[in-house]
A and B are shown apart, each in its own frame.
Chain A
Amino acid sequence: MNRIKPVNQRAWWLVLPVLLSVAFSALIPLMTVVNYSVQDILGPSQRVFVGMEWYKETLRDPELHAALLRQLTFSIAVLLIEVPLGVALALAMPARGWRASLTLVIFAMPLLVPWNVVGTIWQIFARGDIGLLGYVLARLGIGYNYAQNPTDAWVTVLIMDVWHWTSLVALLAYAGLRAIPEAYYQAARIDGAGRWAVFRYIELPKLRPVLMIAVLLRFMDSFMIYTEPFVLTGGGPGTSTTFLSQYLTQKAVGQFDLGPAAAFSLIYFLIILLACFVLYNFMNQAETRDAT
């Protein structure tokens, strides 16, 4: 052994509290799920080891495929609407003075509303008989009914999510914009750059790291969306707004299929992990490609 430095092993005790809390909050529950996923739970004390059976079944489940497709479409739509809209709003927000503070407060409001309340607000807002939106649409002669028409329901969930979360993207982008030194704008003016060129060559490159965070956050969150569609439509009509987490809950809580549900959650987890990994690397690569 090289005698470089005496290592005090007692320092590990300092890590213990964190280790314990992580173990109980993440590791042990995760292992329990792994445990469930390879067994058939017949009763509290009756269980049979089934190996990869649940995984195979889950991967072959056509309803899951449909839910996954619905989920992907939804998340992509969310990103395509919320990111450009958020950036546009951030660009339009006043930079300083009392107007800036006021706008910030207003923008932060949707983020402060509890998720099930968001669902309830929209459930009432979009109702044809008493809701402002539903009633106006009905009076305009537009046939709209989120409780019966699958497309209407899907679009309503999407708009609700846009209402709820575009603020987050806008606030992130706003913070990113404020961090750009004034000299960049001054140099652009002297170079005779137009508004679009300023956005394209100064603001967008400077916003990139912030937007990367925004895209990742919005992707993960929208991929796990549960509460709002549950309150608004309960996954219906039919399965038109049954997203992955909703489907999982139906299996685990509704049908009490703990084994398949556990296998499903692990697959779900891996999908999110994989998607974020791919997304992050893709965006990071674009960055380094630009740097060299």
Chain B
Amino acid sequence: MARIQLIDIAHSYDPGAAPWALKPLTTTWEHGGAYALLGPSGCGKTTLLNIMSGLVRPTQGRVLFNDLDVTLLPPEARNIAQVFQFPIVYETMTVFENLAFPLRNRRWSGTEIRKRVHEIAEILELGADLGRRAQGLSAEIKQRLSLGRGLVRPDVAAVLFDEPLTVIDPHVKWLLRRKLKQIHQQLELSLVYVTHDQTEALTFADRVVVMAQGEILQTGSAEELFETPAHQFVGHFIGSPGMNFVACEWREGAARIGDAAIRSRSASPPDRVESLSLGIRPEHVTLHQAAGDNCVPARIVSLRDEGTRSIAVIEIAGQTVNARLPQAPRFSANAPLFAHFPAERCALYADGRRVA
């Protein structure tokens, strides 16, 4: 059982000189949750993970496990397992010895170790390989083995994964991912899964935490991240193609693209903003030949047929917008065209952040 709380955590790899690798943040990871930490390379997600496991001591802030302050505890004293990007196994040992290693270091007796190792090997389907040297195993088995070394400790309450599928062959990736989900349910563990792959994050986790440049931008379910991105970055990063952001102005009580007033779910933006944009997913943009409410004159620049759908790149007031259409549109070349932005699907973003 573990609820992990990070209170005002921040980290710099060279305090005083380098900028924050991780800007001050406070967040809670509930017991038994499956979380994904999603963000581009260098956004601080691995740093955040290492702070939780104790490999990195944060420059400021506190880490609580079940309300107990563990900030100063070393990794071996925390009930946390970590699986790294590249499979880490002790190559000169057998699979059995690898699994027994954390227990031997904790001075377990031989019979207890045997019992526990066989239990875990059973769960991870490593039973047949117990006598083999770890060196010759495939990357996928090695990765299961390094997960096993974490799970073998019965007190482990959370497993942290740092892009664990990077070196796994595509055809066994889904096997391993399914195994992870199964273990999550079977052992009632909290899982935190770091990745830069949105599909991996969205299929694996109940809650996805999106990070960029050392900050947590949004935490939510796959649907929330897709429908109501809290930040322009989240909109861009999730979805394919990402969310459209059209620069607009606030005049006479309405957001306007050119002269057209566009209603959205957002209230009026704060008074002083550097930039104001209208965000809409390509999935919600539709094209019409007649003008109407919430419509903007548009011109098709190019069309890309993706089989079941097509992506139209259109130009609106000098800006490029993607529209995902169910089938290739048939419009006469010279007729006027309008893009319709449904008001309930639009939101305003002031300086990158969503306006409520």
Binding site for B on A (CB under 8 A): 181, 183-184, 186-187, 189-194, 197, 201-202, 205, 290-292
Contacts and interface: CB of A to CB of B under 8 A. Distances in A.
Contacts of B135: 290-291
A183 B74 CA distance: 15
Contact of B82 (A186, A192, A292): A186
A92 to B, nearest CB: 22
B142 to A, nearest CB: 12
Q: Which of A187, A193, A290 has the most CB of B within 10 A?
A: A187
A186 B86 CA distance: 12
A191 B88 CA distance: 11
Contacts of B105: 191-194, 197
B150 interface: yes
Interface in B77-108: 80-82, 84-86, 88, 90-93, 101-102, 105-106
B92 A290 contact: yes
Main secondary structure of the interface of A (DSSP, over half): helix
A191 B90 CA distance: 11
Contacts of A184: 88
A201 B146 CA distance: 15
B133 A290 contact: yes
Contacts of B50: 186
A145 B347 CA distance: 92
B92 to A, nearest CB: 5
Given A190-B75, A205-B92, A290-B91, 7 more contacts: A183-B84, A186-B84, A190-B53, A192-B106, A193-B101, A202-B90, A290-B135
Contacts of A183: 84-86, 88
A191 B102 contact: yes
A201 B84 CA distance: 18
Interface of B: 50, 53, 55, 74-76, 80-82, 84-86, 88, 90-93, 101-102, 105-106, 133, 135-136, 146, 149-150
13 contacts: A183-B84, A183-B86, A186-B50, A187-B146, A189-B55, A190-B55, A190-B75, A190-B102, A191-B149, A193-B105, A201-B90, A201-B93, A291-B135
Given A290-B133, A290-B135, A291-B133, A190 B76 contact: yes
A151 to B, nearest CB: 40
Contacts of A191: 76, 101-102, 105, 149
Instruction: Give the most central of A183, A191, A192, A197: most B CB within 10 Å.
Output: A191
B133 A190 contact: no
A194 B133 CA distance: 22
Nearest to A189: B75
Nearest to A290: B92
Contact of B91 (A187, A197, A205): A205
Nearest to A291: B135
B106 A187 contact: no
A115 to B, nearest CB: 38
A190 B81 contact: yes
Nearest to A208: B92
Contacts of B55: 186, 189-190
